[in-house]
Amino acid sequence: MDAALEASTMRKVYIRLLPFAIICYILAYIDRINSSFAALTMRGDLNMSAADFGFAVGTFYWAYFLFEVPSNVIMEKVGARIWIARIMITWGIFATATAFVTGSTSFGIMRFLLGMGEAGFFPGLILYFTYWFPARHHARIVSGFLVGLPIAVAVGAPVSTGLMSLHGLFGLKGWQIMYIAEGLPTIVLGVVCYFVMTNKPEQATFLTQPEKDWLASKLATERKAKDAVRVYSMLESMWNPKVLLLALNYLGIVTASLGMLFFIPQIIKSLGHSDNMTVGWLTMIPYICGGIALIVWGRLSDRMNERRWHLLVACLLSTGGLVLAGLTMGTWWAMVGMSLAAMGFYGSKGPFFAMPSMFLSGTALAAGYAWINSIGNLGGFFGPWWIGVMKDLTGSYSGGLYGLALLSFVSAVVCALFLHIPDPATGKAPTLAPAQ
């Protein structure tokens, strides 16, 4: 009876929450990374060097760092329904307004405002999933949600470059058309979000009363198991050594991931493809590979009830891929290296974001997720800036990729030596045996 009740409940929850969350994340990430495609012509139009562009595009992540924790704590208090809708409408407005920047300074300011508007969206939804999904579903739901990330890059690449080909329409440049066409749908979806999201299982009209009771009881039992070990305050969670080590691991992998992401269209163009549309299609390849790895890693991590070693293998794979790309820059082997790196970047997401909820709950979990994400996303500033500086200094992207590989390797070391987090249900570290 319990097994059938669990199956029916979780099937409804997955169907109700996951597709809409993926669509929201796709739009969020397209608005965040479309500057990498705009740069194909925007840099020349606004007279920005690679370093200027990398610095300006990275100011987004300083705003993330400053506003992420307050945003997530507010969401935990007022509910996801109104707060996620507010976030989407705000960032949609700033994403659209980016079409009207006039240089590196105004571009950097608009990127900062975009980061301020979007702050709390990603950790907010990760936190939201803990209100609905028992622990054994955490890596799968995070991986399923984050599949929107490589989809956003894979789909956004040809869409963004295709919109840029409309150069001259309404007297606008191609990159201006792209920003407007990709920003407005986010505002619309933000309004829809207010009417679609449900804050807690107890309020779900799509579940029967027995299903509501089972899910609420299951989640309450898991929370008691964590609280019996230790209850952390919001401030305690932010200075907890495990949280800081998770943030350090995430900083390395995000710096490497976003450093590659914001310059991959320009790296592919340097292989000899001058047509922007072709660059857009080729950019899909590494992120299709990343999307497949994301799903596979998440399912394996949940099936084995194991997080740490799945994360370690992903970090090592990204390190090796970046080294291969740097060694073979100028050849198609660089594309193979970047594809392997993308598999590592995205394969790490599911097991990683299942780890904080193993020892935090409530407001502490809200603050912990946001703190980890805000520190990690500082890599979104340093990664593109580093790649841009090395390109200007050496004329090649190889040196920048080696630096990113070193950071990814540091993440692997942190994982291997320090990220030992016992299972709160047993008090023991999860093993590599498949869960029954």
Does the structure show a pLDDT above 80 at 428? Answer: no
How confident is the prediction for the chain on average, in pLDDT?
A: 84
- Give the tens place of pLDDT for each residue, 55-66: 888 788 888 888
Cα-Cα-Cα-Cα torsion 257, 145, 108, 401, nearest 10 degrees, comes to 10
Q: Which of 32, 151, 20, 25 is CA-nearest to residue 94? A: 32
* Degrees to nearest 5, angle at CA 196 with 90 and 99: 25
Contact 353, 142 (CB under 8 A): yes
Question: With a threshold of 0.85, does the pTM exceed it?
Answer: no
Over range 378-402, report the average pLDDT. Answer: 78
Q: Which of 95, 101, 139, 134 is nearest to 113 (CA)?
A: 95
Residue 433, pLDDT > 50, answer no
Is 274's pLDDT higher than 70? no
* Average pLDDT for 229-243: 74
What sign for the dihedral angle of Cα 76, 223, 433, 355?
A: positive
Name the more confident of 426 and 324. Answer: 324
Indicate whether 425 pLDDT > 60: no
Q: Is the pLDDT of residue 243 over 60?
A: yes
pLDDT bin (cut points 50, 70, 90) of residue 182 is very high
pLDDT for 133 beyond 70: yes
| Confidence (pLDDT) at 82 | 93
Confidence of residue 434 (pLDDT cuts 50, 70, 90): very low
Residue 424 pLDDT level (bands cut at 50, 70, 90)? low
Answer whether residue 366 shows pLDDT above 80.
no
CB 179 within 8 A of CB 159: no
Average pLDDT over residues 206-233: 81
Residue 229 predicted with pLDDT over 70: no
Closest C-alpha to 314, from 429, 205, 414: 414
Burial of 288: CB neighbours in 10 Å, binned 0-12, 13-18, 19+: middle
Q: What is the DSSP letter of 168?
A: T
Identify the pLDDT of residue 94: 94
Residue 128, C-beta contacts closer than 8 angstroms, at least 6 positions apart:
75, 80, 84
